[in-house]
Structure 1
Amino acid sequence: MDTPYGSVPMPVWERPEPQPRAAPVPLSRAKIAATAIRVADEHGLDGLSVRKIAKELGVGPMRLYDYVLNRSELLDLMVDTVYARIAEAGQRSEWRATVLAVARATRAAALEHEWFADLHGGRPHLGPHALAVGEATAAALSQAPGVHGIDELQRALGALNAFIVGAVRREVTERRTARSTGTDEAAFQAGLGPYLTRMLNTGRYPTVARLVIEGAHLDAEETFERNLTTVLDGIAGTPRT
C-alpha cells in the first residue's frame, strides 16, 4: 500500500486469508490468534513467540508468516480478538449504560487476559473490533449532557480512557505483585501497620491519617465502580448523590 511515507504492507485486517493448503493442520488468523492468546495467558507477553505458537499448533514457524508478517501483527490480532467481546457488551440504547458496559467489559478482559492491560493505553488500536468499541464509546459520550462539540468530546474520551487504563493497570499490577511476593495487599498493609501508625502519630500527615482511619476500605471492583461513576458524573456535568 502506497502512503506519503513510502510503500508499507497492507494492514493485516485488510489482507485476504491465504488460500487453504492441503496440509494436515488447517490454519486461519482466528485460530492463530486464539492460540496466541492461550500462550500469553499462561506465559505473558515475554513468553510469546511465533515459534512457540507454531509448536502449539503443530506446524512449522514459517507457515505462520503466511498469515502474520511479524510479532506486531500477531499482537494486533490478539488485541482485536479481545475487543470483539468488549464490542458485544457495549451495545446499549442509553449513553451512560453504554459507557458503563464498555468500561466494565474492558476491566473484565484485562483481568482475564493480563497481557491486555500491558497493551492498553499506548498507540490507538485500529482493528475492526477496536474501532467498533471506539465508535460506540464516542457516540455514547457525544450524547452526554455535559458534552457539546468535538473538543469537549475529545476531552471526555481522554478522561474516560485515562481512568480505565490507569485503573486496570493498577489492579493487574497488584495481582502480579501478590503472586510474585506471596503477599496480598491486605497482608502488605498489615505488615507495615505498626510503622504507619507511628508515622501518623507524629501529626505530620493529618490528611493521610484521616484517609487511613476514616476512609472506606473498598475492594477493587467497588473502587472501580465508584470512581467510574465519579468520572461519568463529571462528564455529564450533573453530579449525582
Structure 2
Amino acid sequence: MTVWDRPEPPHRPVPLDRERIVAAAVALADEGGLTAVSVRKVAARLDAGPMRLYGFISTKDELFDLMVDAVYAEILPEERAGDWREALRVLAHRTRQAALRHPWLADLLGGRPALGPNGLAVAEATLAALDGLADVDTVMRAVETVSSYFTGAVRREIADLRAERATGLSKPEWQREHGPHLTRMLATGRYPALAKAVHDGTHVDAEESFATGLDWVLDAVAVRLARPPGS
C-alpha cells in the first residue's frame, strides 16, 4: 500500500496529520536541504515523539514523496492554458520558480513519476493541453523532451546557486577571481572556439537563458507535432 492509499491514524494528544508533518519537513528542507530532514527532526519541530510520525509515514522516501507533491500544488497551473505551447511553457517556468523557492526540489526532479494527487493533476493538465494534436506516443515524447530540458536547466541553476553559497562568491566575483587563469589559457591559442565564445558571446542572466532555451525546444516540438502521423 502506498502512502497515498494508507489512511491516517486517529488524532491523539499533540494533534498530527500529514499536512502538518509535510509542512514541517518542507520548512526544514528549505532551511538546510534534504540532509536536514529526518523523522526525528520533523517530530522535534512538531513537539511530538518520532514514533508518532511512523503512523503517517513508513520511510524517509515516503516523506520526500509527500514533500514533492506539496510543491506540485505550487506548480499546478491556476487556469487552463490557451494552447499546448503555453501549457508547456507555464509548466517549465512554474517548476523553475518552485525550485528557486525550494532548492531541494532539484534533487528530486526527473526520477520516477510523481503519483500524489497534485503531481497527477499537473500531468493531467499538461497532457490534456496536447490531447488530439498527435498520437499518444508522440505527445508523451513531446512532454518528456520539454521536461528533460527544464529539469536539466533547473538543476544547473540550483547547482550554481549552491556553489555561490558554499564559496561566498557571486558568479561575477568567481569569474573575476578565475579570470586571469582563463585568460592565460585562452592566450595559448589551443581553444579558439572557446575564446570566441568568451570574448564575443553576449552575457544573459539565468532567467533569459532559461526562457530562450525553452523556446528553442518548443519550436522543435512544434515541428514534430505538425508532421503527419507515421512520418
> How big is the shift at 1:135?
1.8
Q: Sort the Cα spacing of 1:43 and 1:225 in 2 relative to 1 into closer, same or farther, 3 A.
A: same
Choose which of 95, 119, 123 in structure 1 pairs with 2:112: 123
Matched, 1:20 2:6: no
Provide the residue aligned with 1:41 in structure 2.
Answer: 30
- Structure 1 position 87 matched with structure 2 position 73: no
Q: Which digits, 9 at most, give the CA deviation of each residue in 1:18-48, with x for residues without a partner?
A: 2222x1x211111110011001111211111
Structure-to-structure mapping, 1:118-197, within 5 angstroms: 118-142=107-131, 148-197=134-183
Q: CA deviation at 1:101?
A: 1.2
Q: Letter of the aligned partner of 1:15 in structure 2?
A: R
Q: 2:41 aligned with 1:55, yes or no? A: no
In the TM superposition, residue 219 of structure 1 has moved relative to its aligned partner by 0.6
Q: Deviations over 1:166-189 (max 9, x none)?
A: 111111111111111111221222
Deviations 1:144-171 (A, max 9, x none): 6xxx322322321221111111111111
Counterpart CA distance in 2 for 1:190 and 1:172 is 21
Amino acid at match of 2:8: E
Structure 2 CA distance, aligned partners of 1:121 and 1:225? 19
For the structure 1 residues 140 and 183, does the alpha-carbon distance in structure 2 shift closer, same or farther, using more than 3 Å as the test?
A: same
Unaligned regions of 5+ residues in structure 2, if any?
A: 225-231
Q: Does 1:68 align with 2:54?
A: no
Aligned-partner SS, 1:237: helix
1:193 is aligned with what amino acid?
G
Q: Alpha carbons of 1:110 and 1:118: their partners in 2 closer, same or farther (altered >3 Å)?
A: same
Unmatched 5+ stretches in structure 1: 1-9
Distance change >3 Å, CA 215–CA 192, structure 1 → 2: same
TM-score, normalised relative to structure 2: 0.90
Matched residue, 1:11: 2
TM-score by length of 1: 0.87
> 2:66 aligns to what?
77
Once residues 93 and 19 of structure 1 are traced to their aligned partners in structure 2, the CA distance between those partners, rounded to angstroms, is 44
Q: How many residues align?
A: 224
